[in-house]
Amino acid sequence: MPETDLSIFNELYDIIKDRKENPSENSYVCSLLSHRKGIDKILEKVGEESIETILAVKSENKEEIIYESSDLLFHLMVMFVAKGITLDEIATELKKRRK
C-alpha cells in the first residue's frame, strides 16, 4: 500500500494557530475565532458538518463523504486551536487506548 502523507494535518493546524495569533480580515478561520457568538459559532459549524457527514454516508457517495469529512475535520481543528488543545494531545489520548 502506498505510504500516505499525513503532514497536511500538522500544516493546517499550524496555519489555524497562526491565524489565532496574527488575526487578519480576509480569513475564514479568523472570522470563526473572533465571532461575536464566541465558541458557539465554532460548535455550530462542528454540528453542521457532523450532520452533513452523516447525510453523505447515508447517500453512499464516497466523494461526498470525503468532502464533508474534510469540512468536519477542519472545523474540529479550529475548535482544538480555540480551546488550546494540540494534535499531540489527541494523538496521546488515542495511543493510550491502543490495544
Ligand X SMILES: N=c1c2ncn([C@@H]3O[C@H](COP(=O)(O)OP(=O)(O)OP(=O)(O)O)[C@@H](O)[C@H]3O)c2ncn1[C@@H]1O[C@H](COP(=O)(O)O)[C@@H](O)[C@H]1O
Chain contacts with ligand X (rule: CB under 6 A): 15, 19, 27-30, 48, 71, 74
Nearer to ligand X, 21 or 98 (CB): 21
Nearer to ligand X, 15 or 39 (CB): 15
Nearer to ligand X, 73 or 91 (CB): 73
Contact yes or no for 15/28 (Cβ under 8 A): no
Nearer to ligand X, 30 or 43 (CB): 30
- Provide the sign of the torsion angle of the four alpha carbons 59, 62, 67, 72, taken in this order: positive
Closest separation in Å from C-beta 97 to ligand X: 27
**CA atoms of 31 and 66, how far apart (whole Å):** 24
**CA atoms of 14 and 81, how far apart (whole Å):** 9
Q: What is the 3-state secondary structure (H, E, C) of 46-91?
A: HHHHHHHHHHHHHHCCHHHHHHHHHHHHHHHHHHHHHCCCCHHHHH
Closest separation in Å from C-beta 49 to ligand X: 7
Closest separation in Å from C-beta 55 to ligand X: 12
Closest separation in Å from C-beta 29 to ligand X: 3
